[in-house]
Amino acid sequence: MDRALQEFPVVIIGAGSTGAALACDLALRGFPVTVLERGEVSSGTTGRNHALLHSGARYVVHDPASARECFEENRVLRRLAPEVIEPTGGLFVALDAADLDYLPEFLEGCREAGMDVRPISPRQALDQVPALNPQILAAVPVPDAVFDPYRLTASWLATAQAAGARVLTYVRVEGLEAGPPPAGVRSRAGDARARIVVRAQSLASGRELVFPAAVVANCAGPWAPQIGALAGVKVPVVPSAGVLVALEGRLANKVINHLHPPGDGDILVPQRQISLAGTTSWVAESPDQVPVPRDHVERLRELASRLVPAARFAPLRAAYSACRPLVADNVAADGREISRGFRVFNHGQSGLFTVAGGKTATSRAMAESAGDAICAFLGVERPCRTRVTPLVSYRRFRADPWEVQGIGK
Ligand SMILES: Cc1cc2nc3c(=O)[nH]c(=O)nc-3n(C[C@H](O)[C@H](O)[C@H](O)COP(=O)(O)OP(=O)(O)OC[C@H]3O[C@@H](n4cnc5c(N)ncnc54)[C@H](O)[C@@H]3O)c2cc1C
């Protein structure tokens, strides 16, 4: 461990894919990292997503920057974490004349994003995926893949732990205070205000815990505004809710996408022995109370069955919802038009940062960007290593027992 960095303890709030990837990034750079998570790892949005390792093709026309980011990270993650990825491939399929009209724009967008994709005939597509709607008019293979969100997040954390990080679960952050540098934490010369204290509670014991930090990274996903409010800062994150429907059986071995502008029910993803149909989009009042409207479930099944007819009859295994933490200043009608890009906010000299937006598939890039910003803030130069460091197996991850670490008050 880099002794010079020991005076810069970093606390990360939230162990979803964003916080886990950032823990990995900063621990590999040599920082002493502590992750605080109020529940289990991945118990927020990350554990309830579609599990799609985006190729980026969904965004090539309307959000080309996100498309390029997804495509780049898709290739990086396949290299670093093959254990948690199933390289299924994906197909975009046209169902009607409007979809065919969209095809040239789509192909041009893919080309601009760096994706070398070519249409195949409907017959070839049906040979690859016999369960496809036999009426499709066109098909384009894309490098989509499927990942396991829990295992990917646990792999980020296992890699962080191997580099010295600690991960404390069932610890809820309840206060953030700018304060004098606690013992053992010195601010860098000329920047005596780079100091912050995190107050938290162990939900296992009720004990109050205190964590002095040089930097605190708010990676609380759709709850990021609540964490910001603890420090009196406004965090422009919109909780954009969506429903997912899990149908019994692996209806198709590839990710099947509807070839049209992003909309409801345009994808069916194979995940082990189920198929995930999704999704809808609306702005939730609170990330803690996201309903699963019955009409969304029925509509998703109906739309999925246009792609793969067997979806109409597959038994329903589960229906659930989660909130995308999207970055936007204004709350839009349904959240679809908000970019899937990410932002790193430096909230000023207290040392509080927020990392929000993006996707699980781009969590490494989000962490790299946040890690660079944190190094610049602290005035240290440590290169990012996550682009080239293979991840430690998720099987090695264990939450650290905080009781034995003597960090309680
Ligand atoms: C329906 C849907 C489908 C999606 N599909 C995909 C997909 O297929 N592929 C993809 O790449 N992305 C997908 N996404 C997006 C992706 O899931 C999110 O961008 C990502 O999971 C956000 O991760 P996060 O770590 O920022 O937030 P979260 O996973 O929500 O993590 C935040 C964590 O902070 C913790 N926390 C909150 N408050 C506190 C506190 N006070 N103290 C301590 N801890 C706290 C929470 O418990 C939580 O674990 C989807 C999103 C939705 C909603």
Q: pLDDT tens digits for 123-172?
A: 999 999 999 999 999 999 999 999 999 999 999 999 999 999 999 999 99
Residue type, 106: F
Q: Where in the chain is the domain with CATH 3.50.50.60?
A: 3-45+150-236+339-405
Dihedral sign computed on CA atoms, order 49, 50, 53, 54? negative
Beta-strand ranges (E) seen in 188-306 are 196-202, 208-213, 215-218, 237-248, 255-258, 267-271, 274-278, 282-283
Measure 48 CA to ligand 1 centroid, in angstroms: 8
Residue 317's contacts (CB-CB under 8 Å, 6 or more residues apart) are 246, 247, 248, 274
Per-residue model confidence (pLDDT) at position 349: 81
- The residues, ordered by sequence, that sit 6+ positions from 139 with a Cβ below 8 Å of its Cβ are 91, 92, 93, 94, 119, 120, 121, 122, 124, 125, 132
Q: Report the residue among 40, 45, 72, 286 best suited for mutation to probe ligand 1: largest number of ligand atoms under 8 A from its CB.
A: 45
The token pair at 247 is: 């149908």
Ligand 1 mean position to 265 CA, how many Å?
20
Quote the Cα angle for 60-56-143, to 5°: 120
The tokens describing 398, both together, are: 């264990």
Binding site membership of 56 for ligand 1 (Cβ less than 6 Å): no
Pocket test for ligand 1, best of 324, 334, 353 (most atoms within 8 A of CB): 324
Q: Is 361 in the pocket of ligand 1 (CB under 6 A)?
A: yes
**Angle, helices 363-378/17-29, rounded to nearest 10 degrees:** 50
Residues of the chain with CATH 3.30.9.10: 86-146+238-327
Q: What whole-number distance in Å separates Cα of residue 253 and Cα of residue 236? A: 38
This model's pTM is above 0.85: yes
pLDDT of residue 50: 95
Please write the tens of the pLDDT for every residue from 250-269. 999 999 999 999 889 999 99
- Choices 3.50.50.60, 3.40.50.300, 3.90.1150.200, 3.40.50.2300: CATH for 3-45+150-236+339-405: 3.50.50.60
| Element housing 23 (H / E) | helix 17-29
At residue 137, the pLDDT reads 98
What is the rounded (10 degree) CA torsion for 172, 177, 181, 182? -40
Flag residues of the chain having pLDDT under 50: 185-194, 404-406, 409
Q: CATH second-level architecture of 86-146+238-327?
A: 2-Layer Sandwich (3.30)
Which pLDDT value is given to residue 191? 35
Q: Would you give the DSSP letter of residue 172?
A: E
